[in-house]
């Protein structure tokens, strides 16, 4: 079995971002503010790299449909929608958390940061599960790029 390179790299970056968030959380509990700041910014950059790779692949290569058994497709689809909602929510919370941290709006940052971290951990876990279901446990289905879908080439 050969794993697709771009989804593998993008999944690596989302896992790395979650690991960095966990490290950043540990650092702030130890009152290591500067190390926390640098680690959380690195987590944000890692998440951004994931997003850039994901969007680029979606536009130019395409998204891969679920290739597993038909009786599991509905469960996969519901799980995928749950993951997308988590990822979108996590990204918004992440941007607000980074902004409030950098602007030193600390009461809001302290309130939203832990919530953001938990959402991001679940986003990473469900993202890995989607990757495993699409490329490891089952052979991926059809892949069609957005450009081909729009322009019909």
Q: Is residue 150 part of a domain?
A: no
- Tell me how many domains the chain contains: 1
Phi/psi at 143 (5° precision): -120, 120
pLDDT digits (tens, 9 = 90+) for 85-122: 999 999 999 999 999 999 999 999 999 999 999 999 99
CATH of the domain at 16: 1.20.120.80
Contacts of 135 (CB under 8 A, 6+ apart): 3, 4, 7, 8, 64
Give pTM, 2 decimals: 0.89
Q: Is residue 152 part of a domain?
A: no
Q: Is residue 14 part of a domain?
A: yes
pLDDT of residue 3: 82
| Whether the Cβ atoms of residue 61 and residue 143 lie closer than 8 Å to each other | yes
pLDDT digits (tens, 9 = 90+) for 40-99: 999 999 999 999 999 998 888 888 888 999 999 999 999 999 999 999 999 999 999 999
Residue 15 confidence class, pLDDT cut points 50, 70, 90: very high
Q: Is residue 111 part of a domain?
A: yes
Q: Is residue 108 part of a domain?
A: yes
* Nearest one of 46, 56, 51, 54 to 21, comparing CA atoms: 46
């Amino acid at each position: 079995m050969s794993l697709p390179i771009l989804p593998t790299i993008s999944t690596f970056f989302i896992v790395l971002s979650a690991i960095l968030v966990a490290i950043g959380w540990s650092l702030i509990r130890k009152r290591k503010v500067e190390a926390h700041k640098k680690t959380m910014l690195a987590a944000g950059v890692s998440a951004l790299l994931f997003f850039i790779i994901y969007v680029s692949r979606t536009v130019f290569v395409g998204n891969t449909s679920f290739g597993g058994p038909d009786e599991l497709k509905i469960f996969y689809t519901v799980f995928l929608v749950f993951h997308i909602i988590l990822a979108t929510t996590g990204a918004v919370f992440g941007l607000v958390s980074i902004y409030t941290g950098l602007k030193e709006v600390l009461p809001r940052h302290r309130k939203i940061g832990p919530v953001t971290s938990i959402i991001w951990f679940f986003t990473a876990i469900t993202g890995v599960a989607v990757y495993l279901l699409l490329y490891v446990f089952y052979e991926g289905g059809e892949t069609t790029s957005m450009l081909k879908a729009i322009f019909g080439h």
